[in-house]
Amino acid sequence: MNGGVRRDFAVFFWLLAADVLNGPGGVTLEAGDLYFASRLTARQKKRQLVKLNLRVPADVQYVQSMESSGRMPDVIVVGGGVVGLSIAWELVCHGASVKVIDQRTVGREASWAGAGMLPPGRLTGETSGEGRLRALSCELWPDWTQALRDATGIDNGYQKCGAIEVSFERSLKSESETWAAAGNDVEFLTDERRRHYEPAISDSVKEAYRLRDFGQVRNPRHLKALVTACADSGVEFLEGAPVCGWQTASGRVTHVRTSGGQFAARQFVIASGAWSSQLTREAGAEINVRPMRGQIILLRCPSLPFRHVIQDRSRYLVPRADGRILIGSTEEDVGFVKQNTVNGVQSLLQFAVSIVPALASAEIERTWSGLRPFSGREEPFITRLSNHENLYVAAGHFRSGLQMSPGTAVLVRQMLQGHDPAIPLQPYGLVPAADDENSSTNDRLVTAQTQQQ
């Protein structure tokens, strides 16, 4: 190394990691030294030099990262929603190099459009695949929130706010007992207790129960934190590049073909939400994932009339600390049509006012819709595609993509790195959905579509 500068080991390492080339006051690194410059971004390299009290000239030059200069990443994740970004973050935190490819802009589809609700769960009490993944994610959310805040300074708004499930007709006793049997803190509410918690709820409500540990997170903030953390950790992004196929050899995927070129990796993960089935089909495997539109309304109130999330089956009211309230959501099987409709918005407003009459005077701030990946079963697909030994899929989370994203990321990382899974993987394989088990879900969708279209 040129310059004859004396250094201790830490300074030597970080000067190498900085890739400083011929900047005023800097040093020159020879080709062999670049081997040690792992995957840090320019921003991270400057941070580390500052930590070592080294002067960083304004016009210092940085070479490209090894990924962007052509080195093959360990993993390519196709899909930059909350599931794909969480997988990338989990992998890079465990030593893998990652490239994320998205057909549009990362973090702007169903992940951004959702309400950020986080139902509770306990691994010791859950027995279904859906329940175990929900419980695993529930345990991970506090640590993920703190890790992302430490890495980026971004607060994703995670909090335990509690939720109240209400009903105008159906009995909720069995449902509340199921939550309790799994070890969750549930209180079946008398009218008096319901008024104690939320006096703004209509007295027309027949039954209600409360989930104390129900949480929420601000979707846009969480996605911003994930994108920032991934970028600062060396994840490379390719946006606006739809995938058009795969190049394979000897039972392995060698390249993914996109509108922006073809890219090689050691392993590939499809996490493209409602678009995932198109990509698995290109690879010779079928998964039953299709888009399901959900419309949402954002209200603004001078003061919040309630503080719990309030739900009636698939519809909900989510209060935000800034005085806004989310109303959601429709479930409409209309293909890839992402728009708001008069019928959809009207039905959501009627629902909201029927639950909390005071919302009739709230201001409508905006409306939007998203396309959820519906699979016709309770569990998402989290598995390797059997016809390719290095191609995996994580898709079909429907309404639970954000909620289950930490657990999904951990399971995918464990699969790719050959580690034992945190929970059994069998429920998330490529098996047909059981008609009896999922009939209630499908019946509910048919009913919702009839009401909203």
Which residues are CB-contacts of 229 (< 8 A; sequence separation ≥ 6)?
Answer: 89, 147, 148, 151, 152
What string of pLDDT tens digits covers the 453 residues of the chain?
333 333 333 333 333 333 333 333 333 333 332 222 333 444 444 444 433 343 333 333 332 333 444 689 999 999 999 999 999 999 999 999 999 999 999 987 767 778 999 999 999 999 999 999 999 999 999 999 999 999 999 999 999 999 999 999 999 999 999 999 999 999 999 999 999 999 999 999 999 999 999 999 999 999 999 999 999 999 999 999 999 999 999 999 999 999 999 999 999 999 999 999 999 999 999 999 999 999 999 999 999 999 999 999 999 999 999 999 999 999 999 999 999 999 999 999 999 999 999 999 999 999 999 999 999 999 999 999 999 999 999 999 999 999 999 999 999 999 999 999 999 999 999 864 443 334 333 333 333 333 333
Q: Which of 33, 337, 351, 307 is nearest to 167 (CA)?
A: 351
Domain enclosing residue 45, as ranges: 9-62
pTM above 0.85, yes or no: no
Which residues are CB-contacts of 347 (< 8 A; sequence separation ≥ 6)?
Answer: 330, 451, 452
Q: Is residue 381 part of a domain?
A: yes
Q: Which of 38, 62, 86 finishes a domain?
A: 62
Q: Is residue 170 part of a domain?
A: no
Q: Are residues 115 and 39 part of one domain?
A: no
Q: Are residues 355 and 270 part of one domain?
A: yes
Q: Is residue 143 part of a domain?
A: yes
Q: Is residue 330 part of a domain?
A: yes
Q: Which of 62, 91, 106 finishes a domain?
A: 62
Q: Are residues 276 and 245 part of one domain?
A: yes
Q: Are residues 116 and 31 part of one domain?
A: no
Q: Is residue 224 part of a domain?
A: yes
Q: Is residue 200 part of a domain?
A: no
Q: Are residues 52 and 131 part of one domain?
A: no
**Residue 250 maps to which CATH number?**
3.50.50.60
Q: Are residues 436 and 301 part of one domain?
A: yes
Q: Are residues 119 and 50 part of one domain?
A: no
Q: Which residue reads 């959310």 in tokens?
A: 141
The Cα–Cα gap between 53 and 58 comes to 15
Q: Are residues 17 and 138 part of one domain?
A: no
Q: Is residue 320 part of a domain?
A: yes
For the chain, the domain total comes to 2
